[in-house]
Amino acid sequence: MDLSNTFFWTFVYDFIRGPLVWIAFIVFFGGTLFQIFRLLALTKEQTISKLTPGPGRFIPKRADGEDKKNWFMWLKLSIAGVNPFMTIVSTIFHVLLIGMPIFVLGHNILLDNAFGVSIISLSESVSDFLTIVVIVCAGIFLYRRLFLDRVKAITTWADYLFLFLAAAPFITGFFAYHQVFENYKLIISLHIISGELMLMAVPFTKFVHMIYLVIIRFTVKSEYSLGKGNRTW
């Protein structure tokens, strides 16, 4: 039976392209605001003094050569220094995971049709290449969880589920663009709903690190702070 011709399938298709999109965005933005306020509730503002011990302690200024030496030592002991390959893979994956949905041409056409808003879009060939890059990065993560003992030992079924959920919008998008399967409506529906599920999962699962990573780096004082954070746990 051709599902694309049934009343039920037509209803489901229209639902995931309409109301479920709004539900996904409401849950995402509402959950994000909740997590931001939750972070503020779990931390407290602190006046950083030059005499305050800990992360805000005063460090005498050293000669330029010594400062550079200490910086290189910190970099060597950081994740980037210990495993530079996975640092690069992880960075590329996360940047594309967030940026690709914003700048894909097809998404911006829908945005323009719905709200009359148009932003810079990637060409279809570039988007296709970057989609493959995301899928390859996800494959590297999967390989590590399956075959690298130290990673496999701490991997649970939830880790596989979250990895699949993150990669599914890109895999289904790639299949839909290249029309790998005959039933295009089914594949594009899977693409849409996987993206919506991913969006709704961000604030309430381990994906929330994508939110906390940015906020904490600029608000909470630590050795990895990117700004003058004045909050502590």
CATH code, domain with 71: 1.20.950
What pTM was estimated for this model as a whole?
A: 0.81
Q: What are the Cα distances from residue 119, in Å, to 58, 98, 123, 191, 228?
A: 45, 16, 13, 22, 32
Domain count, the chain: 1
- Token digits of residue 175: 């299949």
* Residue pair 217/224 in contact by the 8 Å Cβ criterion: yes
Task: Measure the CA–CA gap between 186 and 177, rounded to whole angstroms.
Answer: 13
Task: Measure the CA–CA gap between 166 and 154, rounded to whole angstroms.
Answer: 19
* Cα 5-185-171 angle, rounded to 5 deg: 155
- Token digits of residue 19: 């109301």
For residue 59, pLDDT over 50 is answered with no
Structure confidence by residue, pLDDT tens digits, 65-120: 555 556 666 566 566 667 789 989 999 999 999 999 999 988 988 888 878 888 88
Torsion sign (Cα): 79, 87, 82, 63: negative
Domain with 67 in it: 3-232
* Residue pair 159/205 in contact by the 8 Å Cβ criterion: no
